[in-house]
Amino acid sequence: MVDMHGNSPKSLRQDLLAQRKRFAASVGYSTIEESVLAELASFLADHDAQVQSIALYCPIQDELDLRPALLAWAKNNPDKTLALPFARPDKHLDFYVWEEDDLLIPSRHGVPEPDPNNPRRPQITPDCILIPCVGWSQSKVGDKTHYWRLGYGGGYFDRTLAQLRKAKPNLLCIGIGFDWQKLDDAQWQAQTHDEPLDAMLTESGLVITY
């Protein structure tokens, strides 16, 4: 269970990031990391027909690194495409095709990003977006379970998903995290502007809303 010092999302976020740093340095971390990657491989196999392109992320602040697993997936499936996000000044994300060894440029937040002016790497709307979570929660509305992401507070993904889902209703948005990051209502509740995740992937497996 996550400790809470104060009730603000900012202090909760700081606690979670500090805990993730300790967790990533712990003895059992590599085993849990392998479990998440194995669950990711199962998801890719089960959704082969549905997912032709995946947007991932360059890990920062001890986020789980999915790049080796997804590069191997793309190498074994030449018809599949990987993409990385580029943060626009208006706090929306665009996604550009990414291949190993591409030159990436640090954003003002220190996140390695693709070069949007590279003519060999077009902008795409991916079928699936993998989104790292600082924390996450679930709530039930009727018979349907929703999963929610606590991020870094910039709102980039919420704005982007709200826009992309209008153009691509079957877009699949999956949160990436660990079981211990799950928050209860007393710790954090999603706000009206928060976009729900379609699924949550942790070491326990993939939980999906359909």
Answer yes or no: is pLDDT of 202 > 80.
Answer: yes
Q: Is residue 1 part of a domain?
A: no
pLDDT band, residue 191 (cuts 50/70/90): confident
Q: What is the pLDDT of residue 209?
A: 63
Q: Is residue 2 part of a domain?
A: no
Answer yes or no: is pLDDT of 23 > 90.
Answer: yes
Q: What is the pLDDT of residue 5?
A: 46
Distances (CA, A) of 127 to 29, 87, 124: 30, 19, 9
Question: Which 3 state secondary structure label does DSSP give 210?
Answer: coil
Q: Among the residues of 28-154, which ranges form H helices?
A: 29-46, 67-76
Q: Is residue 21 part of a domain?
A: yes
What 8-state DSSP symbol labels residue 52? S
Q: How does the average pLDDT of the chain come out, rounded?
A: 91
pLDDT band, residue 31 (cuts 50/70/90): very high
- CA pair distance 74, 53, nearest whole angstrom: 9
What 8-state DSSP symbol labels residue 197? B
The model carries a pTM of: 0.93
Asked if residue 33 belongs to a known ligand binding site, the reply is: no
Query: In CATH, what number is assigned to the domain containing residue 153?
Result: 3.40.50.10420
Q: Is residue 4 part of a domain?
A: no
Residue 147 parent element (H or E): strand 144-150
The domain of 81 spans: 9-208
Give the residue with greater pLDDT, 40 vs 193.
40
Specify the number of domains making up the chain: 1
